[in-house]
Chains A and B, each alone.
Chain A
Amino acid sequence: MSKKKFSLTAFLCRFYVYILLLIMYAPIILLIVYSFTDTKIIGNWNGFTFRLYESLFHDSEIMQAFKNTFAVAISSAIVSTLLGTLGAIGIFYSKRKAKAVMEGISNIPVMNAEIVTALSLTILFVSIGAAFNFTTLLIGHVVLTIPFVVLSVRPKLMQMDPNIYEAALDLGATPKKALWSVIVPEILPGVFSGFILSITLSLDDYIITAFTRNTAYQTLSTYVYGVTSKRGTLPPSLRALTTVITLIALAILIIVNIKSGEKENK
């Protein structure tokens, strides 16, 4: 009796998770389904066609926005990962007071509302008379992502055996060599997750982009925001775009899953 009751609870629990996932994915699924018909309004099925995909790949504005989005994401992730990793190592070996101050500053962009960060950067650029261009946008995205690199690398530094660096020095390695061949390999997983996280946050961002970009420079989020606030519903070709992005994300998810499965098996 009690066993049967338990399995009902288990069923309900699983059901809850699946229902939640279904609701979460409903908008995306709807767009994917309707990306294969060229109706203007979702709800009217116009027959199966790939025409939206054709128009997507021929839409130079969207394609440019797509490229721009990745250009910002990858370049800001590289800068953040380099500066942030060095920063995390440096902070880790700083004296207590300097460490506390630097960690406090690192937390500011994480805790802060994105719009406050965006406004503060804009005011800085305006007050020094800088022109808004790719550099200002890049700086905005680095500010957004760099604390997360530091936060990803720090736990790896703490887990590291402090003696191996000393051992490398005792064995005659220069500090630079010891850093490169001892510390860096130890923290590499943290560096990698910081990099991926930076790309994720940058791809997803709208507010910082909107404030720090040159208005002629469209990323996907500014483009979508522009067209959706003008017209009622999403332009049809963006449904095809959603499908493409979802497929990319799904592919990454599967790869990450296989990779982590391999790691666990080892």
Chain B
Amino acid sequence: MRKNKSIFSRKFLAVPYAVFMILFVVIPLMLIIAYAFTDESGRITLDNFRAFFSGGHNINTLMFSIFIGFLNTAICLVLGYPAAFILAKKEFGFGTATVLLFVMPMWINFVLRTAATRDLLFAIGISGGEYPYLATMIGMVYNYLPFVILPLYTTMTKMDKSLIEASYDLGANKVQTFFKTILPMTMPGVISAATMVFMPTMSSYVISDVMGERKISLIGNSIQLYFDQGLWHIGSLVALIMLAIIAIGSFCADSEPQENARGGLW
């Protein structure tokens, strides 16, 4: 009897949280769906779809955003994977402090950091006006590399080292050991890193604006533009398309966002 009562009271601690999440997460998402399928007068319509898909401009932007998203994810993984691996290996003598050094730029405001990167590139002759694509890509990598190193580092420190030794004992060489043992073991980290990079890359409009001097338009720029013009309905449609991509992505990754993705160090 007492036990039932106590469980009852603890469960209800989540009520304020649940109310908040329903009001400010669930209902707004439903509104996005409702807005995407209606027009200004509230009539149900598919005009937003037609407006979005006509002319091909928006589709190009979408495809280009997906491409940039993949490219940035790939570059960040290629640069970040070995770094995380070295940081996680005890024999190199790097500790949590060095990992924190990689994360510390995150504490300097994102816009300020991006503007600083632009000033550096400008000083060495890569101005966003002349090389908008190169400058934007560099800005993206700068910003998202920490998001890759952190989850990879966390997975690698938890890696079972005896399996790697076993692989060598069984006669595998370094390359085989890497592809057959180390990579599969660190795959959760790779997936969580990729989800931390892909979506924000294609949806953020700040980096492309600041680095590319407004010469590059990503799908995030489209939403922001519709927002500025007060075109809520078509803006919602673009948001809905992004939601669909996220849903597909998380279905493919089949993993929950991990606690270690952003804050594993504290």
Contacts and interface: CB of A to CB of B under 8 A. Distances in A.
Interface string B114-147: 0111111011000000000000000000100100
Interface string B161-198: 00000000000000000000000000000000001000
Interface string A212-253: 000000001100110011001110001001100110111011
A89 B13 contact: yes
Interface stretch (B43-51, B52-60, B205-213): B205-213
Nearest to A139: B24
Interface string A146-184: 101011101100000000011001000001101100000
Chain B: interface residue count, which band? 35 or more
A13 B262 contact: no
A131 interface: no
A25 B243 CA distance: 34
Given A89-B14, A229-B209, A224 B104 contact: no
A109 B25 CA distance: 7
Given A27-B119, A121-B28, A242-B116, A175 B108 contact: no
A71 to B, nearest CB: 15
A108 B111 CA distance: 24
A108 B203 contact: no
Interface residues of A, number: 103
Interface in B224-246: 224, 227, 232, 235-236, 239, 242-243, 246
Contacts of B5: 175
A234 B117 CA distance: 11
A169 B3 CA distance: 9
A49 interface: no
A151 B214 CA distance: 36
B263 A204 contact: no
Interface in A116-141: 116-117, 119-124, 126-127, 139
B252 interface: no
Contacts of B236: 119, 123
A47 interface: no
A124 B28 contact: yes
A256 B232 contact: no
B6 A225 contact: no
B21 A228 contact: no
B255 to A, nearest CB: 10
B14 A91 contact: yes
Interface in B6-23: 6-7, 9-18, 20-22
A112 B32 CA distance: 13
Given A120-B31, A175-B5, A221 B109 contact: yes
Contact of B83 (A20, A83, A252): A20
Contacts of A69: 109
Contacts of B206: 206-207, 225
B106 A200 contact: yes
A24 interface: yes
Given A89-B10, A142-B20, A155-B259, A113 B246 contact: yes
A3 B266 CA distance: 37
Given A90-B17, A238-B112, A30 B7 contact: no
Given A20-B79, A124-B31, 11 more contacts: A10-B92, A24-B142, A30-B123, A90-B17, A178-B6, A193-B263, A197-B262, A207-B205, A228-B210, A234-B112, A245-B109
Interface of B: 2-3, 5-7, 9-18, 20-22, 24-29, 31-32, 35, 79, 82-83, 86-87, 89, 91-92, 94, 96-98, 100-102, 104-113, 115-120, 122-123, 142, 145, 195, 199-200, 202-206, 209-210, 214, 220, 223-224, 227, 232, 235-236, 239, 242-243, 246, 250, 256-257, 259, 262-263, 266
7 contacts: A13-B86, A94-B11, A105-B21, A120-B31, A166-B3, A169-B6, A242-B112
